[in-house]
Structure 1
Amino acid sequence: MRVQFSIALAHLLRRRRSTLVSLLGISLGVAFFLAVSALMRGSERDFLKRLVDNSPHITVLDQYRSARVQPAELRWPDAAVAISNVKPPVETRGIRSHRSKLESIEGWPGLRVAPVLRGSAVLTFAGQQQGVSLSGIVPARMKDVSTIDEQMVAGTLDDLAAAPNGLVIGQGLAEKFQLGLDSTVSMVTASGGARVMKVVGIFRTGNAAYDEGETFTLLKRAQVILARPNRVNRFIIQLADPQQARTVAAGIEQAIGYKSVSWIEASEDLLSLLLVRNIIMYSVVTAILVVAAFGIYNTISTIVVDKRRDIAILKAMGFSATDIRHIFLYQGAVIGLLGSCAGLMLGYGMMHVLASVELKPPGVSDVVHLPVWWGAEQYLLAIAFAMAACLCAAYLPANKAGKLQPVDTLRGAI
C-alpha cells in the first residue's frame, strides 16, 4: 500500500498544473457547496423558528375532526332509511367542561397550555372602523405559550390584569387609528356586546396583517363581550420539543375528543415547499462538484495514457489489476482530501462574509442580516459529496488502467 501511494503522489507531482487545476475545482465546489447550503439551511431554520415561535405548537379547537354520528345511526347501523340534513341544536359554542380538560392536558409532560376565547369584533375610533380578532386570555398563562409579551413596544400583558376593560393592540392598528397608551376605543361584537376599551399595551411582530388585526383582553372580559360566559373555544399549547407536535396532538385529540391541530399539520404546504427547495439546492451544489470532478477524470485519464508502459512494467513485476486500480484511486482520494480541506477554509470565509451582509428592504425600518447556519452537518456533507465525486471520477480511468495487458503494451501493440 505504501508503494502504491508513493507512485500515486509521484504521478500527481509530475503533472503539477493539471493537479492544481483539479484541486482548485474541488476547492471552489466545496466552498460554494458550504456557502449555498449554509445560506439556504439558515433561511429555512429562521423561517421555521419564526413559524414555530409565533404560532402555537398545538391548537385544540372547539370542534370535532369528523361529524358526530347520529344516535339513530348508532342504534340501527344497517337501517334502510338514511338520515341527512340534521340540524344540530343551537348552543353556545365552546369546549365543554374546559376546566377538567385543561387539567387533563396539563398532566402531559413537557408542555404548557393556556385557555383562550377567540371571536370577532369591530373597533370604532374617530369615525374609523376596523374588524379585528379578539382573544380573551389569562396573561400569566399566555406568557408561557406565546412570545407576544416579548414583542411589546409599550406596556405589558400584565397590565391587562389591572384594567378591567384593558386592550392590547398591534402597532399597525395603533398607527392606523393614531392610538397610544390610555387611548379609548369602542368595541362591538356580533352578539351585541359593546364596550369602551382602554389601550394598555401595544405589540409589534413585524407581520402587518397580524399587527393590524389582532387584539387581546382579559378572558373574563372577552366572555362577557362575546356573550359566552364561562366558555373558551381553544387551548394553545407549547411543547419543549416542537418536532413532537404531531404525536402529542394525536394523543390529546384521542384523550379529550376535540380536534387538535399541530403546527406541522397546519403548515404542511409550507413544509412541502421547503423540502422541494432543499432538493433543488442540493442538486445545484452537487452539480458544481460533478463539474469539478471532470477535471480529476481528465487528469487521471491523461496519466493513464502517458503511463501505459510504466503500468505494464509494474504488472510484469507482480502488481495485480487491483493494485494498479488502487494507485489511481489514491490519486482521486488525495485530490479530494486536499481540495476538501482548502474548500472548507474558503467556504468558512465565505460564510463569514455572508453573515456580515446587512440588508434594508424598502419600507422596512429594521436592518436584516442574512441567516447563516453553522452546523457541523453541512461540513461533513460537503466532504462526503466531494470525496464521492472524486472517487467516481477516478474509478473509470483506474479501471481502464487495471485492464491493460502488459504483454501487448510492451510489444507496442497499443
Structure 2
Amino acid sequence: MSIQLGIALTHLIHRKRSTLVSLIGIVLGVAFFLAVSSLMRGSEYDFIKRLVDNSPHITLSDEYRNPASQSAVSRWPDGAVEVRRVKPLNEVRGIRGHAQKLAFIESLPGLRAAPTLVSSVVLTFAGRTQGVTLTGAIPAKMKQVSTIEEKLIDGSLDALAANSNGIIIGVGLAKKFGLSMGSVLNVASATGEVRALKIVGIFRTGNAGYDETQTFVSLKRAQSLLDRPNRINRFIIQLDDPYTARDVAAIIEARTGYKSVSWLEASEDLMSVLFVRNMIMYSVVSAILVVAAFGIYNTISTIVMEKTHDIAILKSMGFHARDVRRIFLAEGVILGLIGSGMGVLLGTGLMALLGRVEIKPPGVSELVHLPIYWGYEQYLLAAGFALVSAMGAAYLPARKAGQVQPVAILRGMG
C-alpha cells in the first residue's frame, strides 16, 4: 500500500461521521439510479416487445414508395401535359413474381418470411354485418412470423390447413356477434363472392380494435374468395434481431422494388417519445448522484482545511503538489468505489423487490408484474457515474490542497 493511500484511509477513518454520511449518499444514489432506470428500461422493453411481437418487423406490400410517373410526363418533362378521358385498367393487384421474391428474402440470414393476401370483406351473421380485415395465410409459415398462435384461446392455426372453409376470429368479434367455436358465418368480398365459413379458432390479443376487426383464413381460401388466384399482396417478415429491421428493409426494397416498411419506420413517433423519456429519466437519476457528490466534496474540503498544517509538513518533507493531490483524490475514489459496490447490492435488492410487485391497471382483468430490466450495462453506468462524480467532487479540494504553501503555513505556526 502506497503512503498516499495510507494517509487517505487514515483521514477517512478518523472522520467516521462525515465519511459515513458521504457513503450513504453515494449508496442511496446508486441504488435509486438502478431502481428507477430498471423500471423505466423495463417498461420500455416491455412496450417494444409487445409492439414488435404483435406486428411484423418488416412488411413488404404491393405498393411503391414513389409512384411511377405518367408516360406523357416522361416524354415531355417540361411541357404542360393534360390527358383526358383516360380510364385506368382494372388490374388484379398483387406482388408480381412473388415466388422468386420470397426465395430471395428467405435467402437473407436471420429472418423468416410468410406470404399473405390481405383485404377487406363483409362478415354477416344473424342479420348483422360488419367490415373486417381478412388475412389469408399459410399456417406453417404464419407460426414463424406471428404470435397469433400464442394468443389463441380456442382452436389452432393448423385447423385452417385441415379445414379449407375454416376461419379464425378475435374474441371481441365473437362476443359482438354472439359467435362460438363451430359457428358458421357468411363472408362476402368486393368481387361479389360469398362463402360460408366455420369458426375453427378464437384469439385474444388484448387490443380491442384488433380483436374485433381481424380474421384469418387459409391462403387458398382467401385467393378464391377475393378472386385473386395465385396472388399475394404482402410479405410478413420477422428478424432474429428486430433492431436491424431498417437496414434489412432497405436491402429488400432495393432488390424487389416494392415498398418495404420496418417497424422502426412505422413507429418513429413512439421511438422518439421513448428516447425523450429516457433522457429525462437519466437526467433525474444522475442528479441524485450529483447531489450525493456534494457530500464527498464537503467531507474532503473539511479534511483539507483541518489538515493544512499536516499538508505543509508533508510538502516540507519532499512531497510534491501532485503527491498531495493524489491523497485527496484517493479519498474520493475510495468513497466512490465502496459506495458504488454497496449501492449496487442495495439497488439489486430493490429491483428484486420491485419485480415481485403485482398491480392491476384500470380496465385490465389480470394482475401484472412491474417490468424490470436486468441488463449489466445499467450497473456499469450507475457505478461509473458514481465513481466519476466522487472523483469530480474530490478534485477541487485536492487541487486546493496541492496549492498549499508550506513556508507560509509553517511560519504562521511559529
TM-score by length of 2: 0.95
Match of 1:202, SS?
strand
Structure 2 CA distance for aligned equivalents of residues 177 and 102 of structure 1: 37
Structure 1 CA distance for aligned equivalents of residues 87 and 111 of structure 2: 37
Give how far 1:262 is off. 1.0
Structure 1 CA distance for aligned equivalents of residues 157 and 5 of structure 2: 70
Partner residue of 2:238?
Answer: 238
Question: How much identity, in percent, do the aligned residues show?
Answer: 64
Q: Which amino acid aligns with 1:96?
A: R
Structure 1 CA distance for aligned equivalents of residues 7 and 164 of structure 2: 86
CA contact (8 A) 2:344 2:379 kept: yes
Q: Which amino acid aligns with 1:34?
A: L
Partner residue of 1:131?
Answer: 131
Structure 1 CA distance for aligned equivalents of residues 80 and 208 of structure 2: 52
Give how far 1:285 is off. 0.6
Give the stretch that moved more between structures: 374-383 or 21-30: 374-383
1:349 is aligned to 2:349: yes
Give how far 1:98 is off. 1.8
Structure 1 CA distance for aligned equivalents of residues 82 and 408 of structure 2: 89
The Cα offsets for residues 110-149 of structure 1, whole Å up to 9 and x where unpaired, read as 2211111111122222333332111011111111111111
Structure 2 CA distance for aligned equivalents of residues 133 and 370 of structure 1: 34
Give the stretch that moved more between structures: 131-140 or 357-366: 357-366
Structure 1 CA distance for aligned equivalents of residues 250 and 43 of structure 2: 29
The Cα offsets for residues 30-78 of structure 1, whole Å up to 9 and x where unpaired, read as 000111111111111111111221111111110100011333444555x
Partner residue of 1:80?
Answer: 79
Match of 1:44, SS?
helix
Give how far 1:212 is off. 1.3
Partner residue of 1:71?
Answer: 71
Partner residue of 2:177?
Answer: 177
Q: Which amino acid aligns with 2:188?
A: V
| Change in CA separation of 1:4 and 1:87 when aligned onto 2, cut-off 3 Å | farther
Structure 2 CA distance for aligned equivalents of residues 125 and 362 of structure 1: 33
Structure 2 CA distance for aligned equivalents of residues 50 and 363 of structure 1: 18
Give how far 1:178 is off. 2.0
Q: Which amino acid aligns with 2:79?
A: A
Match of 2:66, SS?
coil
Structure 1 CA distance for aligned equivalents of residues 193 and 217 of structure 2: 14
Partner residue of 2:108?
Answer: 108
Structure 1 CA distance for aligned equivalents of residues 79 and 124 of structure 2: 55
Structure 1 CA distance for aligned equivalents of residues 229 and 173 of structure 2: 28
Q: Which amino acid aligns with 1:98?
A: H
The residue correspondences of 1:137-216 to structure 2 (distance < 5 A) are 137-216=137-216
Partner residue of 2:322?
Answer: 322
Give how far 1:27 is off. 0.2
CA contact (8 A) 2:137 2:216 kept: yes
Q: Which amino acid aligns with 2:192?
A: G
Structure 1 CA distance for aligned equivalents of residues 228 and 270 of structure 2: 35
Match of 2:134, SS?
strand
Partner residue of 2:222?
Answer: 222
Q: Which amino acid aligns with 2:328?
A: F
CA contact (8 A) 2:72 2:81 kept: no
CA contact (8 A) 2:117 2:137 kept: yes
Partner residue of 1:265?
Answer: 265
Structure 1 CA distance for aligned equivalents of residues 382 and 127 of structure 2: 61
Partner residue of 2:277?
Answer: 277
Structure 2 CA distance for aligned equivalents of residues 108 and 409 of structure 1: 75
Partner residue of 1:122?
Answer: 122
Q: Which amino acid aligns with 2:353?
A: V
Structure 2 CA distance for aligned equivalents of residues 389 and 107 of structure 1: 50
Structure 1 CA distance for aligned equivalents of residues 109 and 69 of structure 2: 32
Give how far 1:191 is off. 2.9
Match of 1:134, SS?
strand
Give the stretch that moved more between structures: 303-312 or 363-372: 363-372
Give how far 1:204 is off. 1.3
CA contact (8 A) 2:23 2:335 kept: yes
- Pairwise CA RMSD: 1.8
Match of 1:347, SS?
helix
Structure 2 CA distance for aligned equivalents of residues 104 and 19 of structure 1: 65
Partner residue of 1:365?
Answer: 365
Match of 1:281, SS?
helix
Give how far 1:227 is off. 2.7
| Change in CA separation of 1:166 and 1:64 when aligned onto 2, cut-off 3 Å | same
Partner residue of 1:18?
Answer: 18
Give how far 1:182 is off. 0.3
Structure 1 CA distance for aligned equivalents of residues 13 and 379 of structure 2: 28
Q: Which amino acid aligns with 1:56?
A: P
TM-score by length of 1: 0.95
Q: Which amino acid aligns with 2:378?
A: Q
| Change in CA separation of 1:349 and 1:270 when aligned onto 2, cut-off 3 Å | same
Structure 1, unmatched stretches of 5+, are none
| Change in CA separation of 1:53 and 1:84 when aligned onto 2, cut-off 3 Å | farther
Structure 2 CA distance for aligned equivalents of residues 381 and 352 of structure 1: 19
Give the stretch that moved more between structures: 100-109 or 134-143: 100-109
Give how far 1:195 is off. 2.0
Structure 2 CA distance for aligned equivalents of residues 250 and 273 of structure 1: 24
Match of 2:55, SS?
coil
Structure 1 CA distance for aligned equivalents of residues 404 and 304 of structure 2: 10
The Cα offsets for residues 88-114 of structure 1, whole Å up to 9 and x where unpaired, read as 533122112222222232222222111
Partner residue of 1:389?
Answer: 389
Give how far 1:412 is off. 2.5
